[in-house]
Structure 1
Amino acid sequence: MNKHPVAAVLFDLDGTLLDSAPDLGFALNQVCRENGLPEIPAEVFTPVASHGSRGLLGLTQLDEDALLALKPRFLDIYRSNLALHSKLFDGIEMLLSSLRRNQIKIGIVTNKPEFLTHPLIAQFEALQSISVVVCGDTLEEAKPSPKPLYYAAEQLAVDPKDCVYIGDAERDIVAGRNAGMVTVLAEYGYISSTDQPQQWLADYTIAHPNALMELLALPK
């Protein structure tokens, strides 16, 4: 990271800034209860919480048509219960405050759709001042395309090569690498036992948000 000045840090949302798995799991299990399906335990749904409605509903092992039929109800339940139990990961508030004090710009690039992202962010004071938020449907392409990251950098008026992108999924690292950004894998996020994060080739891996402050040499 010492090769270029870091002008901006871009974050994924679920599994990177927010521990949103409990509320996603609530919506999933409410759908299961309504349809006579076995409930999914937290240790099973948490590692796939970054994979959206398709990944979560896929845990029911229903066929594709059945999954598509359940998706609207899942989204409706989740939209009504966005922040019952979701919380910022430990250390995120301190990290964001340090970035702001050091005049490093902040953005969010998520594959979560706008109708869920903006109401969710509004529930957390530490996130409300982040003005650049690129969602899964902001552009025609979402991650792993680098286009959302390029767009965020453009909105922040910074060069992509001077940006750090941090996320917890393979698509995050692929998008960041293809955008020419420094990539950081949030190992504390939602990574399943079947994932192979060592093959994603992130520039750095951190086990806690505080470690990003250390990488950037930011005071606590």
Structure 2
Amino acid sequence: MSKVPGIKHMRSIKALVFDMDGTLCLPQPWMFPAMRKAIGLEEKSIDILKFIDDMPTEVQRVKAREGIHDVEEQAMMEMEPQPGLVELMGYLTTHAYSKSICTRNVITPVNYFVSKFIPVGFNLFDYIMTRDFRPTKPFPDPLLYISKELSIDASEMMMIGDSMDDMRSGRSAGCVTVLLKNHVNGHIMTDHKEFVDYPIDNLSEIIDILEKINRESKK
């Protein structure tokens, strides 16, 4: 795994990549247990998407995908935006940062969220990477794809998320990692803080982090 450079020798940030569920929108802790129940997955250590991919028949895989789709549909209708979302999107747009989304969700909830909660003019994203792109998080591949398409180094990107999948993906790609803390992910800073460059409580805190990094990069 590559290690992100410290702030003293960090490049300026040119692009930000956001997770969606629990990051752009408020956490919905019921969603993943509901998905596991829908597909009959009791073992918490097994990844939901891998479990479906490894099913022996296409009929089983289709049925499982339909099951998690129903859960995602309900979650979509209950989405609420994170505090600081609009302020941050406005800042990033005004200062010409590239914005992208990397999620293990499908495109419909992403489009719904972006159109409903981010004002027109602030809601343009360069890339939206869903679980259709494989391998998805926690692998670095979606982030490396974005950096390649933007013609920048991954160290000039910031990965913002609320899960270990987000932090592992960002760290292994070489991005700056930002953990949006909540009431269910405190174990990350306790057990895996080496994956996190910046823990935050509100999305608007990213503005100060960007300004600090970019000041330091010019020294």
Deviations 1:90-117 (A, max 9, x none): 1111001101111111111111123543
State the shift of 1:176 in Å: 0.3
Query: How many Å separate the matches in 1 of 2:79 and 2:20?
Result: 12
- Matches for 1:26-65 after TM superposition, within 5 Å: 46=29, 49=31, 52=32, 55-58=33-36
Report percent identity of matched pairs.
Answer: 22
Aligned Cα RMSD in Å?
2.9
The number of equivalent residue pairs is 183
2:199 to 184, 191, 205: 205
1:184: which partner in 2? 178
Q: Give the direction of change, closer, same or farther, for the CA distance of 1:211–1:112 in structure 2 (3 Å limit).
A: same
Q: Does 1:147 align with 2:141?
A: yes
Q: Give the direction of change, closer, same or farther, for the CA distance of 1:180–1:192 in structure 2 (3 Å limit).
A: closer
Query: How many Å separate the matches in 1 of 2:136 and 2:146?
Result: 12
1:131: which partner in 2? 126
Deviations 1:111-160 (A, max 9, x none): 112354334434334474113101111x2201000001111222333221
Q: Give the direction of change, closer, same or farther, for the CA distance of 1:207–1:77 in structure 2 (3 Å limit).
A: closer
Secondary structure of the equivalent of 1:87? Answer: coil
Greater relative contact order (Cα 8 A, min sep 6): structure 1 or 2? 2
2:81: which partner in 1? 88
TM-score (norm 1): 0.70
Query: How many Å separate the matches in 1 of 2:71 and 2:198?
Result: 36
TM-score (norm 2): 0.70
Structure 2 gap segments, 5+ residues each: 1-6, 43-51, 53-59, 213-219
Query: How many Å separate the matches in 1 of 2:159 and 2:22?
Result: 14
Query: How many Å separate the matches in 2 of 1:63 and 1:162?
Result: 38
1:15: which partner in 2? 22
Q: Give the direction of change, closer, same or farther, for the CA distance of 1:192–1:56 in structure 2 (3 Å limit).
A: farther
- Confirm or deny: 8 A CA contact 1:92 1:209 kept in the other structure: yes
